[in-house]
Chain A
Amino acid sequence: MIATALVVFVGGTVWTVVYSFTDSKLLPRLNFVGLEQYERLWATNRWLISIENLLIYGTLSLIFSLVIGFVLAALLDQKIRFENTFRTILLYPFALSFIVTGLVWQWVLNPDFGIQHIVRSLGWESFAFDPLYNADIVIYGLLIAGLWQGTGLIMCLMLAGLRGIDEDIWKAARVDGIPMWRTYIFIVIPMMRPVFITTLVIIASGIVRVYDLVVAQTSGGPGIASEVPAKYVYDKMFLGQNLAQGFAGSTMMLLAVLVVIIPWAYLEFGGKRRPT
């Protein structure tokens, strides 16, 4: 199985990179054309917009997931009643696929039936909230849905981390008269470093892959305002029947992953030896 994983992940990657230098169309063929695919890729408006969207979505999603996840976890950690109920409510969207998430939010955000319609029918006629049909804010429409689906898991991770903090630390902080918010920010959060790292890996790997949500919720529209790289890759490979162009796009994605995430993740996970 290890060998299989190597073959699939490494072999598949190498294969993809090699064929990105060819002019493969519907079927892969080894007719090398140098960097042509990459030149076209970076001259394509849709690719550039995809990258920009991924950066905006990724940054916001990372920040909001962490902040909301942590705040919710901290709230649940206050010895409240009905903790299980609240936790289940916050977590259940994670059981639903992105396809479902996209569909439901498309429905809720539909300007003719959903939120905009309701607010207008309450008398506020000029109210406008149509993120899925307004190119300037469509990415936030995706974000609302993405956060709805994903923050529950982050909250759970954070909650688990908080539960791992020693009771004595809280006692000591109270004895010293440190206000609660300061205890969280200066003592608890630094102690939760491993949790944050796991969380980051999970959020980040989800962001790079974001595809289903966009397809289900906006199909990349209006226009090309909510396109993402994974969708570009898929569309070029299978709809445009231009495999090499898709491979060039995926190679760039893999490169970005390698450059940014792998050394860092490796340092955090692989480089550490167990404390014995």
Chain B
Amino acid sequence: MKTFTKKLLGTMAFSALMAGSAMATECEVTHWWTSGGEAAAVAEFAKAFDATGNKWVDGAIAGSGGVARPIMIGRITGGDPMCATQFNHGRQAEELVEAGLMQDLTELAEKEGWRDVVHPSSLLDSCTLDGRIYCVPVNIHSWQWLWLSRQAFEDAGVDVPTNWDEFVAAAPALQAAGKIPLAMGNQAWQASGAFGVITVALGGIDLWTKINVDKDGDAAAGPEMAKVFNAAAAAREFRKNSNVQDWNQATNLVITGKAGGQIMGDWAQGEFQVAGQVAGEDYECLPGLGVNQVISTGGDAFYFPKLDDPEKTKAQLELASLMLSKPVQVNFNLKKGSLPVRGDVDLAAANDCMKKGLAILADGNILPDGNQTLSPDTTGQIEDLMTEFWSDDSITAEDAQARYAEIIANAD
């Protein structure tokens, strides 16, 4: 397998081997990819990197980015940086870059023409500060999916919905059959994410952009947004009794037919795959809730803290170049269930849902991810509000909207 990868990597790997053959440079990479599919995807990186004569030291930290990021930031600001680290696209590492703690990748990017290969180009923009490039986007993850269990709807004796309105109409039948219409875990980001999906699906891209990009408080307080809040208030009735914490436990409710559907990002697909379910047969996926076919282009990126050791710096650049190379992009994203960041690779092995995503991506019906447009602080405030709103019936749609508008108006 190793030799195969080496061949695949071609001359670049070969030259690296020549240069670094004396001693393998260890490179510790921190990330929070610990679920089955995620770990398999990371292994692709590691395998390819080891083949260049360097050594991938895995620094996985479990418990989602929320647990891992403080540790990574602590390491970097504490003067003991790792060789490379994962962050989500966008503003999470902004200040670390501003403080000059991150490696400048511009030279490499220009040499390899990242501007031309990375698609959509907004991904690279998120890595760019004052014209310099500081990170490597590795995949695209989109939030805007409604996952539906065929079995649940059959048990309830109704057709599998093809859009959100039909889903709402079918919900009482599901409830009558003892199903949870909408599975949702108790973590704040899930509530907030689902709300974002409802916003873009029912309110449209323009409204979403006004609020999340332009931070227009008036739009957030307006009548169009009021519709979205009312829809969400209705939807929170559907999520009752989903007594789970983690997102994939909620997905599991859909897989086992105990719940009708779940609003969750495309990473949920990995869970269906692990459970041996087939898209279109056992489960359905509706991008943009079947209303507004768009996907957001958030995802993961790798940053490379500045290191004193020139050997390590060299290894960092090799890793950066490797992560964006064609074969690694294909292997990694197939395992991860995410979309590649290059438009010029072939993903024949992708399943139905992934293909739907690729088609939308090719059509350019894309919007940036919340992480790219809002600061982590604002994101956190919205999460607090949303988790409260989704779990507490006493908060009316009007109250929640007023508070939401205030957060948006004060966003930085």
Contact = CB atoms under 8 A, between A and B. Distances in A.
Interface of A: 25-27, 44-46, 110-112, 130, 132-133, 135, 218-225, 234-242, 245
A218 to B, nearest CB: 8
Contact of B380 (A130, A132, A239): A239
Contacts of A238: 69-70, 73
Interface in B31-47: none
A218 B243 CA distance: 11
Contacts of A135: 391-392
Interface string B219-236: 000000000000000000
A224 B388 contact: yes
Contact of B95 (A26, A220, A223): A26
Contacts of B385: 45
Interface in B74-117: 77, 92, 94-96, 99
Given A221-B186, A224-B388, A26 B94 contact: yes
Chain B, interface SS category: helix
Contacts of B403: 45
A133 B185 CA distance: 11
Contacts of B66: 239
B391 A25 contact: no
A221 B387 contact: yes
Chain A, interface SS category: loop
B376 interface: yes
B201 to A, nearest CB: 23
Contact of B70 (A46, A225, A239): A239
A224 B384 contact: yes
B162 interface: no
Given A26-B94, A240-B377, A241-B95, A46 B243 contact: no
A27 B99 contact: yes
Interface string B372-405: 0001110111001101111110000000000100
Contact of A26 (B73, B243, B379): B73
Contacts of B390: 223
A219 B66 CA distance: 12
Given A26-B94, A111-B243, A240 B387 contact: no
Contact of B392 (A26, A223, A242): A223
Interface of B: 66, 69-70, 73, 77, 92, 94-96, 99, 186-188, 243, 245, 375-377, 379-381, 384-385, 387-392, 403
B242 to A, nearest CB: 9
Nearest to A133: B243
Contacts of B188: 220-221, 224
Given A26-B73, A235-B380, A239-B66, A225 B243 contact: no
Contact of A219 (B94, B99, B187, B384): B187
14 contacts: A25-B95, A44-B381, A44-B384, A45-B388, A110-B243, A135-B391, A219-B187, A221-B187, A221-B188, A221-B387, A223-B392, A238-B73, A239-B69, A240-B377
B392 A239 contact: no
Contacts of B77: 27
A201 B70 CA distance: 31
Given A218-B186, A224-B384, A241-B377, 5 more contacts: A26-B96, A221-B188, A239-B376, A241-B92, A242-B376
A222 B96 CA distance: 33
Shortest beta-carbon contacts, A-B, top 9: A223-B391, A238-B70, A240-B380, A26-B95, A221-B186, A241-B376, A242-B377, A222-B391, A223-B388
Nearest to B70: A238
B186 A130 contact: no
Nearest to A242: B377
A241 B65 CA distance: 13
Contact of A242 (B186, B187, B380): B380
B73 A225 contact: no
A200 to B, nearest CB: 33
A240 B192 CA distance: 14
A112 B379 CA distance: 32
B376 to A, nearest CB: 4
A179 to B, nearest CB: 49
Contacts of A45: 384-385, 388, 403
B375 to A, nearest CB: 7
Contacts of B380: 235-236, 239-240, 242
Nearest to B393: A135
